[in-house]
Amino acid sequence: DTGVSQDPRHKITKRGQNVTFRCDPISEHNRLYWYRQTLGQGPEFLTYFQNEAQLEKSRLLSDRFSAERPKGSFSTLEIQRTEQGDSAMYLCASSLNGGGGGEQFFGPGTRLTVL
């Protein structure tokens, strides 16, 4: 399967713990996005990479959140000192190039539950 993959699919953690999610985009895609989707809402943009450079971050991304894409391939999203409000589905998407309204291909998401 050459689609976008995310790991883990589900994560349950206790408040105050740190969690890390991984996203593997489609191999030739240079753009990678993270979105957060809470119950009953559409996905909300968190951050965006072009190759290894993080070029934009949403105000939703507090200081407890950090994302990396070290070699321009896979990406990680870390949440430190998790809070119950962090419970959500975290979606990763990738696309090729830009400047043309290209399709973003989504992964299955990581569902985070903070107890």
Partner 1 sequence: AQTVTQSQPEMSVQEAETVTLSCTYDTSESNYYLFWYKQPPSRQMILVIRQEAYKQQNATENRFSVNFQKAAKSFSLKISDSQLGDTAMYFCAFMPTQGGSEKLVFGKGTKLTVNP
Residues that bind partner 1 (CB under 8 A): 3-4, 31, 33, 35, 40-45, 48, 55-56, 91, 93, 95, 98-99, 101-104, 106-109
Q: How far is the CB of 68 from partner 1 (least distance, A)?
A: 17
Residues 6+ positions from 1 with CB-CB distance below 8 Å? none
Q: How far is the CB of 80 from partner 1 (least distance, A)?
A: 24
Cα gap 88→39, rounded to integer Å? 7
Closer by beta carbon to partner 1, 31 or else 82: 31
Task: Identify the DSSP state of 85.
Answer: G
